[in-house]
Chains A and B, each alone.
Chain A
Amino acid sequence: MFAMTVLYDPECGLCRRAHQWLAEQSKLVELRFIPCASDEARRHFPYLDHDLTTKDLTVVADNGAVYFGPKGWLMVLWALARYRDWSYRLAKPELLPTTKRVVSMISQHRYQLGRVAGLSK
């Protein structure tokens, strides 16, 4: 795997901030960012359920593997040189349920969190 596409929500301030942060990190795998459910996203992945990608972060690897929600977040961590170790740690069977719960909670409340942090448009 050499590149991954991150389908992010351009409407959410938290996601835009995360996008900026990710752009600054040194990566082991190239990351491409495309707004979810955009024409560009539909062109790249014609068979993907694009309504689903608006609900939570989706990562598509260049081999077509789709990682949705918490799995997508883990894959983004895995792509970063400094946090690859953490992706393995958080994906361990003992920690995975907690990881999923926390990530889902952040995702569901991303607009509110973005507003509280003053990141909305």
Chain B
Amino acid sequence: MTIGITTYVVYLAVSIALTIWVGRTIYKNGRVFLIDVFHGNETLADSVNHLLVVGFYLINFGYVSMALSLGYAVHDAQESIEALSTKVGMVLIVLGLMHFGNLFVFSCLRGIRRVRPQGPPIEPDAFTAVQQEA
């Protein structure tokens, strides 16, 4: 196995492991949150959670796959590590952005729920008698 192939294999292994780790973290901790958002409806929460995580995996694996190609030859271990650091760093940044995107979706869902039951925004100026229609 040439050093170039080794670099690719290490890149894929690290990227996939990181993606799965972040995905599982979102799945585990997001569930509690979604159950709260959907008033304890666990079936719906699990379903939405699953859909979100599938989207997360698709985008991340898609990026990992697209960013695989280095575009230049790697000759020794030092170049390999340098190439890896750039590639894995980008994967980490994309993962981070996706993670915050997920949190944003969660907080939006929560906002929808919170606003609903509130009363009028302001106190009335006065009260008057209302003549009911006959």
A residues with CB within 8 A of B: 1, 43-48, 60-68, 71, 74-75, 78, 84-85, 87-88, 90-91
State the Cβ distance, B133 to closest chain A Cβ, in Å. 8
Decide if B2 is an interface residue (CB 8 Å cutoff): no
Q: Give residues of chain B (80-134) contacting chain A, Cβ–Cβ below 8 Å.
A: 115, 118-122, 124-131, 133
Interface residues of B, dominant DSSP: loop
CA distance A98 to B43 in the complex (A): 45
A1, A46, A68, A87: which contacts B131 (Cβ < 8 A)?
A46
Q: Do B124 and A65 have beta carbons less than 8 Å apart?
A: yes
**Beta-carbon nearest neighbor of B130 in chain A:** A64
State the Cβ distance, B119 to closest chain A Cβ, in Å. 8
Given A43-B131, A45-B129, A84-B115, A61 and B124 touching (CB < 8 A)? yes
CA distance A48 to B126 in the complex (A): 10
Which residues of B sit under 8 angstroms from A62, Cβ to Cβ? 130
**Beta-carbon nearest neighbor of B124 in chain A:** A65
CA distance A43 to B131 in the complex (A): 7
Q: Do B130 and A71 have beta carbons less than 8 Å apart?
A: no
CA distance A23 to B125 in the complex (A): 25
Count the A-B residue pairs with Cβ separation under 8 angstroms: how many?
59
CA distance A67 to B121 in the complex (A): 11
Which residues of A sit under 8 angstroms from B129, Cβ to Cβ? 45-47, 64
What are 13 A-B contacts defined by CB distance under 8 Å? A44-B130, A45-B129, A46-B131, A61-B120, A63-B127, A65-B120, A65-B124, A65-B126, A66-B128, A68-B126, A71-B124, A74-B121, A85-B115
A68, A78, A90: which contacts B125 (Cβ < 8 A)?
A68
Which residues of B sit under 8 angstroms from A74, Cβ to Cβ? 121-122
The count of residues in chain B whose C-beta lies closer than 8 Å to any C-beta of chain A is: 15
Q: 10 nearest interchain CB pairs? A: A65-B124, A91-B121, A87-B121, A66-B126, A64-B127, A48-B128, A68-B125, A88-B121, A91-B122, A47-B129
CA distance A87 to B120 in the complex (A): 9
**Beta-carbon nearest neighbor of B112 in chain A:** A85
Which residues of B sit under 8 angstroms from A85, Cβ to Cβ? 115
State the Cβ distance, B117 to closest chain A Cβ, in Å. 11
Q: Do B115 and A64 have beta carbons less than 8 Å apart?
A: no
CA distance A45 to B120 in the complex (A): 21
CA distance A75 to B125 in the complex (A): 12
